Structure 1
Amino acid sequence: MRIEVVFSAAPRQVEVVPLELPDGATLRDAVEASGLLSRHPHFGPQSLSLSVWGRPQPAEHPLREGDRVELCRGLLVDPKEARRLRYKGQGGAKKKRA
Protein backbone atom coordinates (compact mmCIF):
# COMPACT_ATOMS: atom_id res chain seq x y z
CA MET A 1 0.00 0.00 0.00
CA ARG A 2 1.13 3.54 -0.71
CA ILE A 3 1.13 6.14 2.04
CA GLU A 4 3.06 9.30 2.87
CA VAL A 5 4.66 10.45 6.10
CA VAL A 6 4.81 14.19 6.73
CA PHE A 7 6.88 16.13 9.29
CA SER A 8 7.57 19.81 9.87
CA ALA A 9 10.71 20.26 11.98
CA ALA A 10 10.41 24.06 11.81
CA PRO A 11 7.84 26.60 10.61
CA ARG A 12 7.40 26.59 6.81
CA GLN A 13 9.69 23.57 6.46
CA VAL A 14 7.80 20.40 5.49
CA GLU A 15 9.27 17.01 4.61
CA VAL A 16 7.10 14.50 2.78
CA VAL A 17 8.26 10.89 2.50
CA PRO A 18 6.24 8.65 0.16
CA LEU A 19 6.37 4.99 1.18
CA GLU A 20 5.27 1.60 -0.09
CA LEU A 21 4.37 -0.62 2.90
CA PRO A 22 2.86 -4.10 3.18
CA ASP A 23 -0.81 -4.50 4.07
CA GLY A 24 -1.35 -4.48 7.82
CA ALA A 25 1.38 -1.89 8.48
CA THR A 26 0.87 0.42 11.46
CA LEU A 27 1.68 4.03 12.21
CA ARG A 28 4.81 2.88 14.05
CA ASP A 29 5.94 0.92 10.97
CA ALA A 30 5.47 3.98 8.75
CA VAL A 31 7.41 6.28 11.08
CA GLU A 32 10.31 3.83 11.32
CA ALA A 33 10.37 3.25 7.54
CA SER A 34 10.33 7.00 6.81
CA GLY A 35 13.67 7.61 8.55
CA LEU A 36 12.46 11.04 9.70
CA LEU A 37 13.30 10.45 13.37
CA SER A 38 16.89 9.48 12.51
CA ARG A 39 17.24 12.64 10.37
CA HIS A 40 15.90 14.76 13.27
CA PRO A 41 17.34 13.14 16.41
CA HIS A 42 16.53 16.18 18.57
CA PHE A 43 12.84 15.19 18.23
CA GLY A 44 12.28 12.05 20.28
CA PRO A 45 9.23 9.82 19.90
CA GLN A 46 7.99 11.10 23.28
CA SER A 47 7.92 14.72 22.06
CA LEU A 48 5.83 13.92 18.96
CA SER A 49 2.26 12.80 18.52
CA LEU A 50 0.99 10.77 15.57
CA SER A 51 -2.04 11.41 13.44
CA VAL A 52 -3.64 10.20 10.22
CA TRP A 53 -5.19 12.95 8.14
CA GLY A 54 -5.10 15.28 11.17
CA ARG A 55 -6.78 12.89 13.58
CA PRO A 56 -4.65 11.69 16.52
CA GLN A 57 -4.12 7.93 16.50
CA PRO A 58 -2.14 5.43 18.63
CA ALA A 59 1.12 4.02 17.22
CA GLU A 60 -0.53 0.61 16.62
CA HIS A 61 -3.27 2.09 14.38
CA PRO A 62 -3.45 0.08 11.11
CA LEU A 63 -2.94 2.07 7.93
CA ARG A 64 -4.90 2.02 4.68
CA GLU A 65 -4.00 2.78 1.09
CA GLY A 66 -3.47 6.53 0.56
CA ASP A 67 -3.21 7.49 4.25
CA ARG A 68 -1.24 10.59 5.19
CA VAL A 69 0.70 9.99 8.43
CA GLU A 70 1.63 13.17 10.28
CA LEU A 71 4.31 13.55 12.96
CA CYS A 72 3.12 16.45 15.09
CA ARG A 73 5.45 18.43 17.33
CA GLY A 74 4.17 20.37 20.32
CA LEU A 75 3.23 24.01 19.92
CA LEU A 76 5.72 26.57 21.24
CA VAL A 77 3.11 29.32 21.47
CA ASP A 78 -0.65 29.14 21.82
CA PRO A 79 -2.11 30.03 18.37
CA LYS A 80 -4.48 32.61 19.86
CA GLU A 81 -1.61 34.31 21.68
CA ALA A 82 0.54 34.32 18.52
CA ARG A 83 -2.30 35.94 16.55
CA ARG A 84 -2.76 38.54 19.30
CA LEU A 85 0.97 39.38 19.27
CA ARG A 86 1.03 39.72 15.46
CA TYR A 87 -1.98 42.02 15.58
CA LYS A 88 -0.38 44.14 18.30
CA GLY A 89 2.88 44.32 16.31
CA GLN A 90 1.01 45.69 13.30
CA GLY A 91 -0.18 48.69 15.30
CA GLY A 92 -3.43 47.23 16.56
CA ALA A 93 -6.76 48.38 15.20
CA LYS A 94 -6.48 51.31 12.82
CA LYS A 95 -9.27 53.83 12.65
CA LYS A 96 -11.46 53.70 9.59
CA ARG A 97 -11.71 56.81 7.44
CA ALA A 98 -15.09 58.40 7.16
Structure 2
Amino acid sequence: MVDQASMVVQVCYASTSTVSLLEVEVDTQATLTQVIQQSGIIQRHPEIDINVFKVGVFGKLKPLDAHLHPGDRVEIYRPLLADPMEARRRRAKKQARG
Protein backbone atom coordinates (compact mmCIF):
# COMPACT_ATOMS: atom_id res chain seq x y z
CA MET A 1 0.00 0.00 0.00
CA VAL A 2 1.31 3.44 -0.93
CA ASP A 3 1.14 6.10 1.81
CA GLN A 4 0.80 9.87 1.36
CA ALA A 5 4.57 10.41 1.49
CA SER A 6 5.29 7.97 -1.34
CA MET A 7 4.19 7.25 -4.89
CA VAL A 8 4.63 4.57 -7.51
CA VAL A 9 6.44 5.32 -10.78
CA GLN A 10 7.90 3.19 -13.56
CA VAL A 11 11.47 3.10 -14.84
CA CYS A 12 11.98 1.92 -18.41
CA TYR A 13 15.11 1.10 -20.41
CA ALA A 14 15.48 -0.73 -23.72
CA SER A 15 18.89 -2.23 -24.41
CA THR A 16 19.73 -3.72 -27.78
CA SER A 17 18.44 -7.11 -26.60
CA THR A 18 15.93 -6.58 -23.76
CA VAL A 19 13.41 -4.16 -22.34
CA SER A 20 13.17 -3.53 -18.59
CA LEU A 21 10.08 -1.92 -17.09
CA LEU A 22 10.24 -1.65 -13.31
CA GLU A 23 7.69 -0.29 -10.86
CA VAL A 24 9.21 1.43 -7.88
CA GLU A 25 7.75 3.11 -4.81
CA VAL A 26 9.58 6.33 -4.02
CA ASP A 27 9.25 9.42 -1.87
CA THR A 28 6.96 12.08 -3.37
CA GLN A 29 9.92 14.49 -3.47
CA ALA A 30 12.24 12.08 -5.31
CA THR A 31 14.20 13.34 -8.30
CA LEU A 32 14.86 11.44 -11.52
CA THR A 33 18.34 10.54 -10.30
CA GLN A 34 17.00 9.15 -7.02
CA VAL A 35 14.28 7.13 -8.76
CA ILE A 36 16.76 5.60 -11.20
CA GLN A 37 19.13 4.68 -8.38
CA GLN A 38 16.37 3.23 -6.20
CA SER A 39 14.89 1.19 -9.05
CA GLY A 40 17.97 -1.05 -9.39
CA ILE A 41 17.94 -0.66 -13.18
CA ILE A 42 21.65 0.27 -13.25
CA GLN A 43 22.49 -3.05 -11.59
CA ARG A 44 20.47 -4.85 -14.30
CA HIS A 45 22.02 -2.77 -17.09
CA PRO A 46 25.53 -1.67 -16.05
CA GLU A 47 26.02 0.07 -19.41
CA ILE A 48 23.68 2.85 -18.26
CA ASP A 49 25.53 6.06 -17.43
CA ILE A 50 22.93 8.64 -16.39
CA ASN A 51 25.51 11.39 -16.84
CA VAL A 52 25.74 10.46 -20.54
CA PHE A 53 22.37 8.88 -21.42
CA LYS A 54 19.40 11.20 -21.81
CA VAL A 55 16.44 10.76 -19.49
CA GLY A 56 12.81 11.72 -19.89
CA VAL A 57 9.28 11.24 -18.64
CA PHE A 58 6.67 9.98 -21.11
CA GLY A 59 8.89 10.88 -24.08
CA LYS A 60 9.85 14.40 -22.95
CA LEU A 61 13.45 15.07 -21.96
CA LYS A 62 13.88 16.13 -18.34
CA PRO A 63 16.85 17.22 -16.21
CA LEU A 64 18.10 14.71 -13.63
CA ASP A 65 16.93 16.95 -10.78
CA ALA A 66 13.31 17.04 -12.02
CA HIS A 67 10.60 15.86 -9.63
CA LEU A 68 8.01 13.29 -10.62
CA HIS A 69 4.29 12.69 -10.25
CA PRO A 70 2.51 9.47 -9.28
CA GLY A 71 2.28 7.10 -12.25
CA ASP A 72 5.08 8.78 -14.26
CA ARG A 73 7.21 6.58 -16.52
CA VAL A 74 10.91 7.45 -16.37
CA GLU A 75 12.62 6.56 -19.64
CA ILE A 76 16.36 6.14 -20.09
CA TYR A 77 17.46 6.71 -23.69
CA ARG A 78 20.52 5.04 -25.23
CA PRO A 79 22.78 7.24 -27.36
CA LEU A 80 22.03 6.99 -31.08
CA LEU A 81 24.46 4.91 -33.10
CA ALA A 82 23.80 6.91 -36.26
CA ASP A 83 22.29 10.30 -37.04
CA PRO A 84 18.75 9.59 -38.32
CA MET A 85 18.91 12.35 -40.94
CA GLU A 86 22.21 11.07 -42.31
CA ALA A 87 20.87 7.50 -42.45
CA ARG A 88 17.84 8.72 -44.43
CA ARG A 89 20.10 10.59 -46.86
CA ARG A 90 22.19 7.47 -47.45
CA ARG A 91 19.09 5.33 -48.08
CA ALA A 92 17.64 7.92 -50.49
CA LYS A 93 20.94 8.16 -52.36
CA LYS A 94 21.16 4.37 -52.61
CA GLN A 95 17.57 4.08 -53.89
CA ALA A 96 18.17 6.85 -56.46
CA ARG A 97 21.13 4.91 -57.89
CA GLY A 98 19.33 1.83 -58.50
2:79 is the counterpart of 1:78: no
Give the root-mean-square deviation of aligned CA atoms.
2.1
Following the alignment from structure 1 to structure 2, what is the Cα–Cα distance between the partners of residues 85 and 18? 40
Matched letter for residue 79 of structure 2: G
Q: Larger C-alpha radius of gyration, 1 or 2?
A: 1
2:23 is the counterpart of 1:18: yes
% identity of equivalent residues:
37
Q: For residues 21-74 of structure 1, give each alpha carbon's deviation from its aligned partner in whole angstroms, at most 9, with x where no partner exists.
A: 121111111100111112222332222111111111111111101101011111
2:40 is the counterpart of 1:40: no
Could you state the TM-score of these two structures normalised by the residue count of structure 2?
0.75
Could you state the TM-score of these two structures normalised by the residue count of structure 1?
0.75
Long gaps (5+) in structure 2: 1-6
